[in-house]
Structure 1
């Protein structure tokens, strides 16, 4: 079974994020991300763990090793997407703050639903712009 740090690193790499990217998304120092990945820090505050799971498109149970499936699935990219398109998509995800309705942050399940809709819209608009 892989450790918390190994799971964070694997998902971060899969998403194409650097430690700096992930640290920026979590509003923390890159050294913290490095310490998580190397197992120097093994107890992550729940608010950071939750945000980490959101940014890495997984759930806290996977990160903590309670389950082996990192679902929800990693974001997929259309075959026509250029490296710049993928960079733009990842930037949109990282810059996206908490999703709120009526001034209250939505839970992780609803956040994932909103992100799936945003993902579909992003690629649809990118495709239309390329055809112009």
Structure 2
């Protein structure tokens, strides 16, 4: 499935129009329509914004994953609780002592989302290998 079709299907699922998407992306409808029709490829930063609006990942939009959800299918309720706590920690996010604006905070949260789930998956795989190794040694 193409990037444009993935964007179009998720946009429709969320009940958003092309005009609404274009407005949130600070562009005109024709430009956004070109993305859905595969006439143009969204630049990286725009693709990240589209993924955020549609509550998905850039990996899904680009065809690297067939899971449109931000949360992996293997995540347990405890994993999701841990992740929620990570993102909801109190305190301002700052860089060099200056509070970050909303867009910059969202970019950091998007990066943390990917890193968190990647680390969680690596830990689960390591635990599984450790259990298998112990079972083989018994």
State if a TM-score over 0.5 links the two structures. yes
Distance 2:44 2:38 in 1: 17
From 67, 70, 73, the equivalent of 1:69 is 67
Distance 1:110 1:15 in 2: 24
2:20 corresponds to = 21
Q: 1 or 2 for the larger relative contact order (CA 8 Å, sep ≥6)? A: 1
Question: What are the within-5 Å matches in structure 2 for residues 1-132 of structure 1?
Answer: 2-41=1-40, 43-72=41-70, 101-102=93-94, 103-104=99-100, 105-106=104-105, 107=108, 108=110
- Would the alpha carbon gap of residues 15 and 109 (structure 1) be closer, same or farther in structure 2, given more than 3 Å must change? farther
Distance 1:27 1:37 in 2: 16
Q: Unmatched 5+ residue regions in structure 1?
A: 74-99, 112-132
Corresponding residue pairs, total: 84
Distance 2:111 2:43 in 1: 20
Q: CA deviation at 1:55?
A: 0.4
Secondary structure of 1:48's match? helix
Q: Unmatched 5+ residue regions in structure 2?
A: 72-91, 114-138
- Runs of 4+ with >3 A deviation: none
